[in-house]
Structure 1
Amino acid sequence: MTELDVSLPVAAQPSLEDVVSLAEAAEDHGYDRVWLPETWGRDGVTTLALAAERTDDVGLGASILNVYSRSPTLVGQTAATLQEASDGRFRVGLGPSGPAVIRNWHGVEFDRPLKRTREYVEILRRVVSGEEVRYDGDVFRLGGFRLRQGPPEIPPPVDAAGMGPKSVELAGRFADGWHALMLTPEGLQDRLDDFRRGADLGDRDPEDARVTMSLTCYVDEDGDRAREQVRQHLCFYIGGMGTFYRDALARQGYEDTAHAVYDNWNDGDRRAAMGALGDDLLGDLAVAGTPDEARERLAEFAGIDGVDALTVGFPREADREGIRTTMEVLAP
């Protein structure tokens, strides 16, 4: 049975209390896990620590922590601490993000993202094992670190996010799971092939890894209004967050649409950018509409073979009422 998770919003929440209360609501509604992205809002570590304190059973996860703004040793310490704080409910998601974020926001060169992600995963696992960390890689050379406290009884699983063939192959080869996003059901199948190929290269069973598909979701009695909220969100990412989302869409056979959205968005014509993303494609990338429409579409995504969990995320402009309504309507 496909699990159902929630991705907490990173924007439009007036206070930290509002964000953490959504984690409590997700637990009350029966969601399996609460993920927190870390972009330009509140930091993921502090927020997840508070969520661990305020919840009892729901899983918690970081999706994603980028592999540039913290050292891999520090991320390992963080993962061990959050696993302790949550009594074994934590799962860490890692990924390189992209140049627009890493160079512009963090002032770090976006260098060797795949190699860096692989080494992060390997170092993090050594840190949480409690063993002395000695590592001689292409990006990191470390020695002498060991956790002073005992290691977690259950090491937190380490997932990797990725959109391109090589990054997804890397997740299959080295990580405990893969986070998929900006993929249609058909496009997902190509990436699942990459994921399974990576598992074969790592002499691993792909069934032992968790595939999590992230979906932007919004429910409104006015279905068209719900679709416009999601359309604006998708176009922001395709057009405004570098070229990764544009290229991911183009790889799936939507090159003209991807470039029309990207070009119009960067020319400042938001209306034309949104007009280029039709309802059919929107429905293949997201869940939006009336309550009945949204439940039906989510069930179709849940039926995709090879997907272990779906994550209900929210448009960046969604208000508190819309987020809570969507969470309640789509709850398991």
Structure 2
Amino acid sequence: MRLGINLGYWGTRGTDDLVTMLALAQAADTAGYDIAWLSEVYGSDAPTLVAHLSAHTSRLHWGTAVMQIPARTPAMTAMTAATLDRITGGRFCVGLGVSGPQVSEGWHGVRFDDPLGRTREYVDIVRRALARKSVDYDGDHFQLPLAGGQGKALRLLLRPEQKTVPIYLASIGPRNLELTGEIADGWLGIFVSPEHLHEQLEHLRAGRHANSHDVNSHDTDGPGDLDGFDVAASANLSIADDLDIAADRLRDNAALYVGGMGSRRSNFYNALAGRMGYADAAAAIQRLYLDGRPRDAAAAVPLGFIGQTALVGPRERIAPRLHAYADAGVTTLNITPYGDSLDDRIASVHALAELMQQEGLR
């Protein structure tokens, strides 16, 4: 199982956040982590941070988790990916996601309609462009060149370092998971529980079977049909001898996603928590959060939900959870380290790498 680190985005934890991100990236690089991921919402953008931070590390691969599909044309995403792949010496992968209706429509001015169809066309164009083919495309959402205009089909001028730049999709719902299995090289999962992962993997497998280009998709049954596909699960990491103290560090983040990432009508993370058996708690968290009571929402997050979807507590509790992720089918475990100080978070980065080695998982 590979090991990755989520660095988030700049500007959420104070004026020294970029210094913190760099320190964590360098700690992960030193500790032998495989990849670092950077995200974006409506603040800092992920590609700029990849360019900056990757220059201060030597072996880490880099990815975006995620670049928002409504924020860029597919051609711009291909240009950015090719540039970052050259900058990092072939150590870049593209993570994409449709975001949500509030950000898509409120920030980018792009209607949140047919997200599956839009994603399919978007990825198709990005792949064609990165393969340096002339991009001539007639889809429901994208037409290149525009009909009746003066444009012509163009080919990407910059050659990426890698022959194929991997494309990951962040997806939550069943249909989106199937699309991910069909068209992507990897899945970026959030709030992944080893106890429930088999349900998500079945949807990914269904997508793989639907992809006629996957030579293995009809020849195997079980975990083998995801060979070559990266199941990249995110897990918050909070190490402490006291389980309650460790879990409390993660409550605000869980409440933000389950309660506040979306509207009362549309919150993918809330629906995910419901499918995991926490429907009543998820409804309460959302009600409290959207009523302007984030602290009460955080207090309402069940310990069981945190325990299932994070690495939390003393090392002797975390060790078997690492095996649970690996046994469930996770191929890359991407952690977000929490602690009471930067030194604590850096120590956690190293501690997890050591624990993975001790448990024979790397």
Fold in common (TM above 0.5):
yes
Identity %: 35
Deviation string for 1:36-69 (max 9, x for gaps)?
Answer: 1112443211111123322221111111111001
Does the 8 Å CA contact 1:295/1:330 hold for their aligned counterparts?
Answer: no
Give the Cα–Cα distance (whole angstroms) in 2 for the partners of residues 100 and 217 of structure 1: 28
Partner of 1:9: 8
Say yes or no: does 1:200 pair with 2:204: no
Q: Contact conserved, 2:82 with 2:158, CA < 8 A, in 1? A: no
- 1:180 maps to which residue? 189
Give TM-score scaled by structure 2 length.
Answer: 0.85
Instruction: Return the offset for 1:209.
Output: 1.2
Q: Quick one: structure 1 residues 142 and 318, their matched pair in 2 at CA, closer, same or farther if it must change by over 3 Å?
A: farther
How many matched pairs? 329
The one-letter code sitting in structure 2 at the alignment partner of 1:311 is N
Mapping for residues 239-250 of structure 1, pairs under 5 Å: 239-242=259-262, 243-250=267-274
Gaps of 5+ in 2: 146-152, 218-225, 357-362
Shift in Å, 1:314: 4.2
**Cα contact 2:85–2:162 (8 A) shared by 1:** no
Deviation string 1:210-250 (CA, Å, 9 cap, x unpaired) is 11111122223543222111122111110010111101111
The correspondence of residues 75-154 of structure 1 with structure 2, limited to 5 A, is: 75-143=77-145, 144-154=153-163
Q: Does structure 1 conserve the Cα–Cα contact (< 8 Å) formed by 2:258 and 2:269?
A: yes
The within-5 A match list for 1:22-33 is 22-33=24-35
Q: 2:305 pairs with 261, 281, 295, which one? A: 281
Aligned to 2:256: 236
Deviates more, 1:39-48 or 1:146-155: 146-155
For the 8 Å contact 2:194–2:324, the answer to whether it is kept is no
What is the CA-CA distance between 1:96 and the residue it aligns to?
0.5
Per-residue deviation, 1:307:
1.5
Structure 1 residue 186: Cα displacement: 2.9
**Which residue of 63, 68, 75 maps to 1:73?**
75
Tell me which structure has the larger Cα radius of gyration: 2
1:91 is paired with a residue whose SS is strand
Taking the aligned partners of 1:275 and 1:178, their CA distance within structure 2 comes to: 30
- Tell whether 2:332 aligns with 1:309: yes
Q: One-letter code of the match for 1:310?
A: L
- Computed over aligned residues only, the root mean square deviation of the Cα atoms, in angstroms, reads 2.0
Amino acid at match of 2:84: L
Per the TM alignment, residue 176 of structure 1 is displaced from its structure 2 partner at its CA by 0.7
Asked whether the equivalents of residues 8 and 40 of structure 2 are also in contact (C-alpha less than 8 Å), the reply is: no
TM-score, normalised relative to structure 1 = 0.92
Q: Does 1:326 pair with 2:348? A: yes
The one-letter code matched in structure 2 to 1:12 is: R
